[in-house]
Chain A
Amino acid sequence: MASNKKYWKSVEELKENSSIVEKLKQKEFVEEIPTDQFLGDKDSLDSSATSRRDFLKYVGFSTAVASLAACEGPVTKSIPFVIKPDDVTPGIADYFATTIADGYDFANVLVKVREGRPIKIEPNKESSNGSANARVQASVLSLYDNNRLKGPKAKGESISWNKFDSEVGAKLNELKENGEKIVFLTGTCASPSTKSLVNKFSEQYGNVDHVVYDAISESAVLDAMKEMYGKRALPDYDFAKADVIVSVGADFLGDWQGGGFSAGYAKGRVPKNGKMSHHIQFESNMSLTGANADKRVMIKPSEQVNALIKLYQAIVSGVATREMSPLNTAVQNAAKQIKAAGGNAVLVTGIQDKNAQLLALQINKAIQSKVIDVANTRNIRHGDDVKVAQLITDMKAGKIGALITHNTNPAYTLPNAKEFIEALKKTKLSVSFAMNDNETASASEYVAAIPHYLESWNDVLIKKGQYSLTQPTIHKLSDTRQFQETLLIWLGSDEAYYDYLKGMWNNNVLGGKSWNKALHDGTFTVPVANDEIVTNDIDISAAGSALSKIKGSDLELTVYTKAGMGDGQQANNPWLQELPDPITRTTWDNYLLISRIDAERLGLENRTIDNGALNGDVVNVIANGVTIENVPVYIQPGQAPGSVALALGYGLEGLQKEMSIGVNAYPFANGIFQNASIEKVSGEHKFACVQLQHTIMGREDEITKEMSLADYVSRPKDWSTAPKFSLDHQEVTQDKVDLWEKFDDTLGTKFNLAIDLATCTGCAACVVACHAENNVPVVGKHEIRVGRDMHWMRIDRYYSSDMTVERGKEEGSFGTGEFFNAQIQPSDAPDVSFQPVMCQHCNHAPCETVCPVAATSHGTQGQNQMAYNRCVGTRYCANNCPYRVRRFNWFKYFDNNEFDFNMNNDLGRMVLNPDVVVRSRGVMEKCSMCIQMTQLTILNAKKEGRPVADGEFQTACSNACPTDAIVFGDVNDTKSKVSKLEKEDRSFKLLDFVGTKPNVFYQLKVKNIKEA
């Protein structure tokens, strides 16, 4: 309770309006102290017994004694804030709203700052673009990357900024004199202020061009939009409105068109009064989106084009192709669904071809889809392939005087990177604004070290009317300077970019509103007039016929991006390298995904060796006129036969040796797909997988429950396979029976965690959030390979198998060895289910019972608590855990050169969360339900003298989840969301029959299966 206690100072206060009390209020002493009498007149002073000498004697003596006495006790070194910044209180975290806009990921985030150090990125839920994916969550560690550039360089030699300015300035002026062309090559730059600076620059320097280049281009859709709606921007989609979603190769739960659609998508995936969205996915390699689809049709990229044309004909032209092929039936079925749903349907495609995108736009226009929004477009991709190609030819022709690259790494990401590097040599001046010494930086003459976004000022216009601000959360760690600052200097202005930015906003954006408010919120939305959509009528048939000319081949290669690595600009981030890929559950690698059929055809194998680790054959891949050597092969269930896929973002240069792994797939990142040929070469690749058994072995009923919408609607209670026990001759569920009198947990808070399998897309943002919040160590490829991953939470991924119990019984093989070995094999076209698993915090925890030293016991709030200091490391608890969520510190994972990751250098250690201890060697650790967060919440509520409001309790994972699939809270608070969820009929507990009574519960997945 807040303190309003009254402290009595004297009995006088008991009296109403006592004079003394009144006096005391004014003066400290009731009557005058006769100081003047004494000190005033000289004689009395002299006559007094203690002379000045004595007085000084006593003072000196007492000081000596005092200081001697003070010498006792330990003298601990500490470095105080000489002048404490008033916004920094040790132990109290500050949150700053800022925005990440690295050209690939754009999101409004909150930065948790402790003692002046940013230590965690959290989604800014009050903003419109507040879903932070795994890479955004991990970006805080990239701030503390040891490999970052520490200052500007010229020809590889580090120089001072003054030298840099004078030299480069001189060169620029020279070029200006000769009227030679200066080109800015940047990644997508959605910053109005930066754009205006570039414009100012071009005004001043005349012959200037600004070319935007996206490593992973969305040029196709941009051009299509330009042609159809006259503006080169991305359409926006609100999948929450969709009843039918048909996707042709669009991984819209991943990074398709900038991503960020999962929240909306998830809204439609929970059945509300018997209705939910229906999602059909046509794709070649198993993507997150395909894994979540109700119906997944696996077809080669060339067939996707074909399918898109058929869809167009069926929906727009209304001619259904009569052709007896499973593909066609699927297509016609999809078309039927779309037509039926009309405006509530949407078709999206990831085919990187302008014509394909035109078709898609046309279909959505034809059905007047409410899902797509072509008016309020998104600005997070601008790359223009044509211009980039033109630029390179110009460079080769020597027409380019200066090339200034910023926030892009073409020397690595361009398919024709070598050409680019050659061409770069032909320019008179090449400046690279880069954070680390990447390919482009090392190829350029001058390198200007730029700060991390957490050290910078900037603004972003993510979507039409939605402005965001980026603000520094820490002083620059090294001698870096923002691109914009440099531009200002080149413009000869001495204005700081902050002032320029503020000015820009006050004049053009805020319209009189408060800058501080905007800075506090991190976002500022200006109302946009719904201006009339101008539609140019275009020759679709031409587009169609152009498309239909695309010919397939018997091995089509596509490139894709992983949830962890994206375009690879954070490749030096160990959290992301160690993040298991949601689909393959493999870390520290990229690999050639291939279907089982093709693998057998080409004699390629994946082998599980004695220690359970996976080894794979190695191949050379020839496509697009390039050969990439020694690519490991990973046999991927659900990979369309005749297609292979390779992940982008690996094989960079200039990284720490642990991180420089994989092969660079960008040479293949060109067009829709590549006709590839692969040849097996000698050698064996060692994979580091965290999951080696891919099927669920007929245990669905107790582990991942799933059911069709029809079943869910007709008999909603049917799936509950909770074991029944007989108590007084009554059939009861096991939560009613108990060996012993149970502890009373109805008082105070009791935490429960709800995980909705229907809305969990497996995006793995929570895994990184947990990693960051709880100082989970990075253990490296080898340790992962031998099954020692330390992630406190994992997302299990199960494939369906062709061999079911039913089929086994039919064939009579059930229960035999061959049955089991068949059951272990995933289907070639599997259904996929995800299941996040962390410590289930069992009320009857098997781990607690077996610990000989009582190092793990149960908290009154329901957590299963782990006392690291008491642990002697018998590992019995981990053996007795049915969920296998406990993690053992096999080695010392910090300050240990064997594990040279962020915990092994001073910079990297700055990211550690001071509220969570770093575990020592030989102790067990596991999910704590983020007890440091919940206790803080309770403490704050106490201080403010109020009960904790629902939704205040958060864990790192629940907070990070973009689809709110993870809900955390107090079940003793009957009004809380989690307690409502617990009573919902979809709720079940993992391995209920073991009787562990977990405090984590799941909600089963409903699939909207519609066969036609």
Chain B
Amino acid sequence: MSHYEAPIREPLILGDKSYHDISNDIAAPIEGKANTWWWVVFSIALVAFLWGVGAIAYTIGTGIGVWGLNNKINWAWDITNFVWWVGIGHAGTLISAVLLLFRQKWRMGINRSAEAMTIFAVIQAAIFPVIHMGRVWNAYWVMPIPNQFGSLWTNFNSPLLWDVFAISTYLSVSLVFWYTGLLPDFAMIRDRATKPFQKKIYSLLSFGWSGTAKDWQRFEEVSLVLAGLATPLVLSVHTIVSFDFATSVIPGWHSTVYPPYFVAGAVFSGFAMVQTLLIIMRKVSNLEHYITRLHIENMNKVILVTGGIVMVAYLSEFFVGWYSGSSYEDFTYLSIGAATGPYWWAFWALILCNGVFPQLLWIKKLRTNFTVSFIMSIIINIGMWFERFDIIVINLSRGHLPSTWTQFEPTFVDIGIYIGTIGFFFVLFLLYARTFPVVAQAEVKSILKSSGDGYKRARDNK
């Protein structure tokens, strides 16, 4: 029998579902009305978003001086947030690409939302490198285009320019990957839509997908190749982001361990963010049958692994710095100097949130518990924010020449912009949750017989 799956494997789709039930369940949030909670959360997010817009406008109108930066610490919250958001934006593509290559079926329940999360997060990330420029109106100069005086090109030696290419490639490729996957599901919605307007919209969105055998053949091939391309891409993005620091000469930045450690950290924080969102969404959009305890546990396992890698990186950074015996390494973000200096609180926040607490997930009872997983995901996101803050601010505040040592304090504008991006992120995600098929139903249907609860029981009982 082609649909055989070992009984030992837990079912990925709970409840006795038929193909049609799946369609109904996925279409429900789109066809139904938004409940009050949705409106409450949405309006809060919207307000935060607007506040951020105001803060950005103020910055561009007055000057970067409205932030807490100074001539020694020229980056702080701006690039911290940038790296944080990019990191978060790694889970989606990793889930849909890497897990696809590894034939991990459990990805199918979550990849749609994970990818959506990725795209929205990368959009937030992209905001910061632009607005942190002193002259935003010239931001397009980072594109390799000749200027009006002739061929004044960009500097391809600059890691910042590598970022421009990496981020834009990553964002656009993730977008097509995501959208191509959406086509059959849009088609499904289109074909069951009753309201003419809805029908119009979804038939437009579905690009006239009709699901012929040849289409499906190409569809699967494309998904596979895209996965193959996206996998190195996803690894390259944070590698290149880490080059911003690794290729510099500043103590604490100039470190060869950064690329792998940044990628691990990115996946770490990305999965945490997926947890945060899905644990809520499975309740709100009643997808308990598709996003199961098993999914949460699997993601927690990934978090454990990547968290482990990150911790090892911390330890090696700390050790190598200390072992070098160089006084310049005594005050990097992972050093005794930092642990006892003015930024001790940031240092310990990093160690606790990223290093200590996640170890609790070794206990099965905890990693299969939704509440624990949720809280843990929040803690990890905080910890990963501090990691970037420490790398940037602590290292810059303790440069080569002691005469240039200083400290940083954010202004309300710094905070406003950060809150604003969080608001923007949730605005996008909430809209997505109401209008998009949040589970890749076509894919799920294809595994219903193999790992659907009902079918499994039927098989096992005979």
Contacts and interface: CB of A to CB of B under 8 A. Distances in A.
Nearest to A924: B134
A698 interface: yes
A872 B402 contact: no
Contact of A882 (B65, B139, B401, B403): B401
B340 A884 contact: no
A891 B75 CA distance: 16
Contact of B399 (A794, A815, A835, A884): A884
A923 B65 CA distance: 12
B64 A853 contact: no
B252 to A, nearest CB: 12
A923 B134 CA distance: 6
B138 interface: yes
Contacts of B396: 879
A308 B155 CA distance: 66
A888 B248 contact: no
Nearest to A699: B327
B250 interface: yes
Contacts of B327: 697-699, 805
B23 interface: no
B69 interface: yes
A880 B249 contact: yes
Contact of A884 (B64, B134, B401): B401
A450 to B, nearest CB: 40
B339 A693 contact: no
A884 B71 contact: yes
Nearest to A815: B336
Contact of B64 (A876, A879, A922): A922
Nearest to B140: A872
Contact residue range for chain A?
35 or more
A151 interface: no
Contacts of B244: 876
Nearest to A701: B327
Interface in B222-263: 244, 247-250
B70 A873 contact: no
Contacts of A794: 403
A65 to B, nearest CB: 34
Contacts of A923: 134-135
A867 to B, nearest CB: 9
A854 B154 contact: yes
Interface of A is mostly: loop
A703 B72 CA distance: 18
A855 to B, nearest CB: 8
Contacts of B134: 871-875, 888-889, 921-924
Interface in A610-668: 610-612
Interface string B413-443: 0000000000000000000000000000000
Contacts of B351: none
B407 interface: yes
By CB atoms of chain A within 10 A, which of B247, B328, B402 has the most? Answer: B402
Given A820-B330, A890-B65, A612 B406 contact: yes
Contact of A852 (B75, B161, B248, B406): B161
A789 interface: yes
A888 B406 CA distance: 16
A657 to B, nearest CB: 21
Contacts of A219: none
A802 interface: no
B454 interface: no
A888 B330 CA distance: 28
Contacts of B158: 849-852, 876
A996 B154 CA distance: 23
Given A789-B71, A890-B64, A892-B63, A692 B336 contact: no
Contacts of A241: none
B243 to A, nearest CB: 10
Interface residues of B, number: 60
A882 B402 contact: no
A879 to B, nearest CB: 5
B340 A882 contact: no
A168 to B, nearest CB: 51
A789 B247 CA distance: 28
Contacts of A783: 65
Nearest to A817: B340
A879 B248 contact: yes
A695 B402 contact: yes
A873 B160 contact: no
A873 B406 CA distance: 21
A821 interface: yes
B408 interface: yes
B217 interface: no
A1011 to B, nearest CB: 28
Nearest to B141: A853
A820 B336 contact: yes
B63 A693 contact: no
B175 interface: no
Contacts of B159: 850
Given A871-B134, A883-B401, A878 B71 contact: yes
Given A693-B403, A699-B402, A872-B141, A880 B133 contact: no
B362 interface: no
Contacts of B129: 874
A821 B344 CA distance: 13
B325 to A, nearest CB: 9
A696 interface: yes
A846 B399 CA distance: 14
A796 B63 CA distance: 29
B141 A870 contact: yes
A991 B400 contact: yes
Interface in A903-930: 920-924
Interface in B121-141: 129, 132-135, 138-139, 141
B142 A796 contact: no
Contact of B248 (A815, A850, A886, A887): A850
A91 B249 CA distance: 41
A370 interface: no
A786 interface: yes
Contacts of B71: 787-789, 878, 884, 886-888
Given A870-B152, A879-B75, A890-B63, A697 B69 contact: no
B217 to A, nearest CB: 43
B407 A891 contact: no
Contact of A693 (B75, B337, B402): B402
Nearest to B336: A817
A423 B250 CA distance: 64
A873 B402 contact: no
A646 B445 CA distance: 84
A815 B330 contact: yes
Contacts of A835: 403
A872 B133 CA distance: 6
A851 B75 contact: no
A879 B74 contact: yes
B406 A891 contact: no
B246 to A, nearest CB: 12
27 contacts: A610-B409, A612-B409, A696-B402, A783-B65, A786-B70, A805-B327, A815-B336, A817-B337, A846-B248, A850-B157, A850-B248, A851-B155, A854-B152, A872-B138, A872-B141, A872-B142, A873-B64, A873-B134, A874-B160, A875-B132, A879-B74, A882-B401, A887-B71, A891-B62, A921-B134, A924-B134, A994-B400
Given A849-B157, A884-B401, A888-B71, 8 more contacts: A816-B336, A849-B155, A873-B64, A875-B64, A884-B399, A924-B134, A991-B401, A994-B249
Interface of A: 608-612, 691-693, 695-699, 703, 783, 786-789, 794, 796-798, 805, 815-818, 820-821, 835, 837, 846, 849-854, 870-876, 878-880, 882-884, 886-892, 920-924, 991, 994-996
Interface of B: 62-65, 68-75, 129, 132-135, 138-139, 141-142, 152-155, 157-161, 164, 244, 247-250, 322, 327-328, 330-331, 336-337, 339-342, 396-397, 399-409
Closest 6 CB pairs of A and B: A873-B134, A922-B134, A817-B340, A787-B70, A890-B65, A612-B407
